[in-house]
Amino acid sequence: MISSLADNICTQPSPEEIDQFLQDQGWSDAKRFSLPQDCSTRYYIRLLKNGESRLLMVDPPPLAKLSQYIAVATLLSKHGFRTPQIFAHDDQHLALIEDFGDTTFTQWLSHGFPLEPLYEVGIDILIKLRQSFTGHISSIKTYSPEVYLKELERFSEWYYPALMGKNLEEKAFKSLCHLFVQAITKATQKHPQTVALWDFHIDNMMILGPTPTVNNCGLLDFQDALNGPCAYDLTSLLQDSRSPISDDFINKMMAIYFAKCELSSAEIEHETTAYHVVGAQRNIKNLGVFARMFCLKDKPRYLNFIPRLWENIDTNLNHPLLEEIRRWMDDYIPKSQRQISLSKFSGTTS
């Protein structure tokens, strides 16, 4: 856990550095409003000046991904996806970008807009990604064992110790990793690849016009995009623990996705398998992400999402290919011990 803590110490730019960057771009005299920060170390400041707005994106090292953000934004925009325009950036961690405003899909839903049309836009974006990127993109990384096993370390380093009050044995974690390598390899070997945005959910989609459509849907938080299975972003959209939807609605959206992709019965079976396998990996990873947000950053609201993560995990682990991983989970984290409380998560971060 010590290494994890050290890895998360970021070097913030000085106020003088920010002022100089904004002065160079002619925005130093703008009014500044800090926007809420989520799981990332990256944060945004809204700039208002003479009726115009911009966002200052601050991406502090050592976790800075500014170059990745620029590369993926350029890649997506070339293929007709709506990403924030990048007006200026430095070589390290500052960028001046287009402000898409505050109208996320979640806000539309909160004002009574029907669920299905919004999610269909998300489905249509996934289909467009699938059709636009059919080959390997050399400028971005690939969903590989190195990537998804590194993500699983968040579960072993943060969630398990915080829940159980002890570290997960190295042998046990290696066993879990081995099972996931086997399952993911088998599930994705016949599965089409695309550019997977990696955090594709309704809070990262913005409405930029009077009605939600693919062409006026602004995309956010895409800097972690990888060459990966088409099913990954479908999982991200439909299994978002922060915006839970019913199983019936999930099945309906999957059926719409499969129909629009014109998949055969055999292809649907492969896609469904990949959906559950990468979904299990993603949700188990997020157990660690949310535990870390509480333990390291004292944000207890993230504990509210953990029961839904377990619902997603249990649903995914019902797939026959994941039977051994289901048994592993039952052995090391019995269902009777998965209930979350603040007291259970206290004093376990060192």
Helix (H, G, I), strand (E, B) or coil at 207: strand
Question: For residue 345, what are the CA distances in angstroms to 30, 158, 248, 296?
Answer: 42, 10, 33, 11
Residue 190 lies in a domain: yes
- For residues 204-226, average pLDDT: 95
Residue 345 lies in a domain: no
Q: Are residues 154 and 35 in the same domain?
A: no
Q: Which helix (H) or strand (E) holds 102?
A: none
Displacement of CA 266 from its chain's centroid (Å): 28
Q: What is the pLDDT of residues 38-74, one digit of tens each?
A: 777 899 999 999 999 999 999 987 667 899 999 999 9
Q: What is the pLDDT of residues 139-191, one digit of tens each?
A: 999 999 999 999 999 999 999 999 999 999 999 999 999 999 999 999 999 89
Q: Are residues 223 and 188 in the same domain?
A: yes
Residue 29 lies in a domain: yes
Radius of gyration from C-alpha coordinates of the chain: 21
Residue 81 has pLDDT above 60, yes or no: yes
Given this model, what pLDDT does residue 8 score?
53
Over the chain, what is the mean pLDDT?
93
Residue 177 lies in a domain: yes
Q: Are residues 91 and 179 in the same domain?
A: no
Contact 84, 69 (CB under 8 A): no
Q: Are residues 122 and 29 in the same domain?
A: no
The CATH number of residue 34's host domain is 3.30.200.20
Q: How confident is the model at residue 345 (pLDDT cuts 50, 70, 90)?
A: low
The CATH number of residue 269's host domain is 3.90.1200.10
Q: Are residues 16 and 77 in the same domain?
A: yes
Domain-ending residue, one of 65, 98, 131: 98
Q: What is the pLDDT of residues 245-280, one digit of tens each?
A: 999 999 999 999 999 999 999 999 999 999 999 999
Residue 88 lies in a domain: yes
Q: Are residues 72 and 125 in the same domain?
A: no
Q: Exposed, middle or buried by CB within 10 Å (0-12, 13-18, 19+), for 244?
A: middle
Q: Are residues 314 and 230 in the same domain?
A: yes
Residue type, 212: P
Q: Are residues 152 and 192 in the same domain?
A: yes
Q: Are residues 19 and 93 in the same domain?
A: yes
Q: Are residues 88 and 173 in the same domain?
A: no
Residue 3 has pLDDT above 50, yes or no: no
Q: How many domains does the chain have?
A: 2
Residue 348 lies in a domain: no
In whole angstroms, give the CA distance from residue 213 to residue 218.
10
Residue 309 lies in a domain: yes
DSSP H stretches of helix in the chain: 2-7, 15-24, 66-78, 105-110, 115-132, 145-154, 160-164, 170-188, 230-238, 247-260, 265-295, 306-317, 323-332
Contact 198, 68 (CB under 8 A): no
Residue 349 lies in a domain: no
Domain-ending residue, one of 63, 80, 98: 98
CA atoms within 13 A on the CB side of 82: 19
Determine phi and psi for 122, rounding to 5 degrees: -60, -45
Contact 177, 149 (CB under 8 A): yes
Q: Are residues 123 and 208 in the same domain?
A: yes
In whole angstroms, give the CA distance from residue 219 to residue 216.
10
Domain-ending residue, one of 63, 98, 133: 98
Q: What is the dihedral of CA 302, 236, 198, 172, to 10 degrees?
A: 70
Q: Closest Cα partner for 143 from 318, 315, 285?
A: 285
The whole domain housing 56 covers 2-98
Contact 27, 96 (CB under 8 A): yes
Q: Are residues 167 and 275 in the same domain?
A: yes
